[in-house]
Amino acid sequence: MHLAGADEIWLLGGVQAVAAMAVGTDSMEPVNLIAGPGNAYVAEAKRQLFGEIGIDLFAGPTEILVLADDQADPFVCAVDLLSQAEHGPDSPAALITTSREVAEKTLAEVERLLPGMPTRDFAEPAWRDHGQVLVVDGIDELYELADTFASEHVEVLTAEPRLALERMTQYGALFLGEGTCVSFGDKVIGTNQRWSGRRRASTGSRRPHTAPAPWTSATAPVPRCSSISRWSRSCAAASPTSPATSGPWSGPVCSSMPSSR
């Protein structure tokens, strides 16, 4: 954040952080604009303050869509589904797969992992009420169905994950292959993205000026972005170049960071 030009850095979170930044405190001056996602309480706080200060947009709950073929690891599918479901009881988590075996084993892994999660109070109702596992006949149907979701985060666990770049157009960010995941994109490798929100695409994005972001691409560990047009669709894709760039570098950094929601 310092390298990005931040004048002050505060470690705050929740509704109290929104209130402090909006009206100021003994040690903090009020800000002009608040940007970034949060849970339902943060969204309501931003709604009530809209007009007194600027805000970027009203963001809905976080979500994840995992695309998997018969080569995918059901444990990885389950962990990554729950990594977003734990953000709140209204967070959708869906798996589309070409393999019934992967679908059934993923369901079993979710049931095994849920009872021991410290965030079970959030993850369990989210999975119960908004979780989905869908089995399709082939890779063509998988991508066709995935585009109808227009999900914020799309994780591709297939033999040829980069095919998604050619076949999909409706998403916030793509995470290509087992070596990357949503947490890397949100907290480490720096991809921009739009908040799609289940067929409710937003023109907002995670950028300081809150304008629609350009197409971007990033390869862990060093982001590399290319601007095409200020008004082009905001999308992002991330994939590691090798296991060495995913595990030893990004893993420890990401795992040391608290949840942003």
**Would you call 44 a catalytic residue per the annotation?**
no
* Rounded Cα distance, 110 and 219, in Å: 29
Among the listed residues 152, 155, 166, 209, the single catalytic one is: 152
pLDDT in tens, the chain (261 residues): 667 788 888 888 888 999 999 999 999 999 999 887 777 788 889 889 888 899 887 777 788 999 999 999 999 999 999 998 988 888 999 999 999 999 999 999 999 999 999 999 999 999 999 999 999 999 999 999 999 999 989 999 999 999 999 999 998 888 898 888 887 766 666 555 555 455 444 333 333 344 444 333 333 333 323 222 222 334 455 556 565 555 555 555 454 444 433
Closest-CA residue to 154 (of 105, 81, 257): 81
Structure tokens at 258: 């608290």
The pTM for the full model equals 0.70
**Would you call 152 a catalytic residue per the annotation?**
yes
Q: What pLDDT is attached to residue 201?
A: 42
Among the listed residues 86, 109, 153, 155, the single catalytic one is: 153
* Rounded Cα distance, 176 and 199, in Å: 21
Residue with tokens 């600027």: 54
Structure tokens at 136: 């399709």
Strand partners, 219: 222
Q: What pLDDT is attached to residue 1?
A: 66
